[in-house]
């Protein structure tokens, strides 16, 4: 194997695939990048047995071949080299040689025949969406994915196509995020739960562009495919929440509020809500709705805080408590200028949605019982 490539191009390829390198494994081969060449391209592959990424880039190939090299060492060396052409080849001792201006590195390699093949996916259902659309859908839902491994199904996002509409839904037991997108092409209905860890990496790789990405699913695998990159992942097994049935269809109190002002209030209140002694603990924030006004308040051992906003209100007065982090996570991803906050009783879920395109995005938070 003997190749010459531009640093910028190979670094982009490495950065794309390194996300699927196994970090804790008894198989050293999974800590490597499989490098393969043909007459004018290099293919880099990584696979941790849950997610696999394959990236193809153009390069000057002087001699075809393949090898596996430790991913972290290889990526760090390439990253720190100057921005010029890099010469990479296998020498007679089967060491991977990296040459660039005055730099010379030799790395131990592993047998490419031992690198596991990425799963072959017999796609049963597939859709194509623009990359910026998928990026936006993941961004608006991924933060509500559960991190609790005792309910594995909720550590992923549901991708459901129904009536030619893609629904991406995440839920962690305390909140739910649901983003909808009408599809241009007519496709059959299907559903699959894709691991949140995979979607985080997909979102890093895809571009904020109108280029298309294909999403295909089989019985237990999913494939994300772009022009020069392919990502394969296992699907999560189990029954996902019937999300549409848990969202309240009516409200007793509704607030119309400027999203940025509301977010600023919650960010300031969060300073008091966060516990100084217990890092993960947050004290509940009380939301009090009166005619034409809302008050957001919090008290703990550090102090107390109160914010008042004059807003449009409909329905009954109410007092209700929330974890402010859940509000902030949602508000940070909403671009709309104004939102509705819909409430029922002090123990029923709160719904946040944009005023324009009301059905486009829905966010639900469960309240916290306030102490008397």
- How does residue 278 score in pLDDT terms, banded at 50, 70 and 90? low
Domain ranges of the chain: 2-114, 125-245, 248-365
Tell me the percentage of the chain whose pLDDT exceeds 70.
Answer: 97
Asked if 115 and 34 count as a contact pair (C-beta separation under 8 A), the reply is: yes
Correct CATH for 125-245 of 3.10.150.10, 3.30.70.20, 3.30.470.20, 3.40.50.300: 3.10.150.10
Helix extents (H) in 126-171: 131-139
- Domains 2-114 and 125-245 in one fold: yes
Asked if the model's pLDDT at residue 148 lies above 60, the reply is yes
Q: What is the assigned CATH class of domain 248-365?
A: alpha beta
Mean pLDDT across 306-326: 94
Correct CATH for 2-114 of 3.40.30.10, 3.30.420.40, 2.40.37.10, 3.10.150.10: 3.10.150.10
Tally Cβ neighbours within 10 Å of residue 131.
20
**What is the average pLDDT value for the chain, to the nearest integer?**
93
- Among 77, 35, 90, 75, residue whose Cα is nearest residue 59: 35
- How does residue 281 score in pLDDT terms, banded at 50, 70 and 90? low
232: enclosing H helix or E strand: strand 229-234
Mean pLDDT across 269-277: 74
Asked if the model's pLDDT at residue 357 lies above 80, the reply is no
Tell me the percentage of the chain whose pLDDT exceeds 90.
Answer: 85
């Amino acid at each position: 194997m003997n190749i010459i490539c531009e640093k910028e191009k190979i670094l982009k390829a490495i950065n794309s695939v390194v996300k699927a390198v196994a970090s804790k494994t008894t198989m050293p081969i999974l800590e490597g990048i499989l490098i393969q060449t043909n007459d004018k391209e290099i293919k880099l592959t990584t696979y941790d047995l849950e997610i696999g990424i394959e990236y193809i880039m153009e390069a000057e190939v002087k001699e075809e071949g393949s090898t596996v090299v430790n991913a972290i060492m290889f990526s760090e060396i390439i990253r720190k080299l100057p921005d010029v052409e890099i010469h990479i080849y296998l020498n007679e001792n089967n060491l991977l040689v990296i040459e660039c201006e005055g730099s010379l590195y030799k790395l131990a390699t592993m047998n490419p025949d031992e690198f596991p093949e990425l799963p072959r996916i017999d796609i049963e259902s597939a859709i194509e969406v623009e990359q910026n659309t998928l990026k936006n859908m993941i961004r608006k839902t991924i933060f509500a994915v559960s991190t609790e491994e005792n309910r594995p199904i909720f550590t992923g996002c549901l991708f459901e196509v129904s009536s030619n509409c893609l629904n991406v839904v995440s839920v962690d037991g305390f909140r739910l995020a649901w983003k909808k997108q009408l599809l241009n092409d007519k496709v059959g209905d299907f559903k699959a739960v894709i691991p949140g860890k995979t979607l985080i990496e997909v979102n890093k790789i895809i571009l904020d562009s109108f280029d298309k990405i294909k999403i295909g699913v089989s019985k237990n695998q999913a494939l994300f495919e772009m022009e020069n990159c392919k990502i394969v992942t296992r699907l999560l097994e189990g029954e996902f929440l019937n999300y549409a049935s848990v969202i309240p269809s009516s409200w007793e109190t509704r607030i119309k509020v400027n999203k940025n002002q509301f977010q600023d209030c919650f960010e300031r209140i969060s300073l008091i809500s966060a516990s100084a002694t217990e890092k993960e603990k947050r004290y509940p924030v009380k939301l009090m709705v009166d005619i034409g006004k809302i008050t957001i308040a919090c008290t703990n051992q550090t102090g107390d805080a109160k914010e008042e906003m004059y807003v449009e209100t409909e329905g009954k007065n109410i007092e209700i408590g929330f974890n402010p982090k859940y509000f902030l996570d949602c508000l940070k991803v909403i671009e709309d200028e104004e939102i509705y906050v819909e409430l029922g009783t002090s123990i029923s879920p709160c719904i946040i949605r944009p005023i324009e395109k009301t059905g486009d995005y829905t966010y639900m938070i469960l309240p916290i019982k306030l102490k008397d």
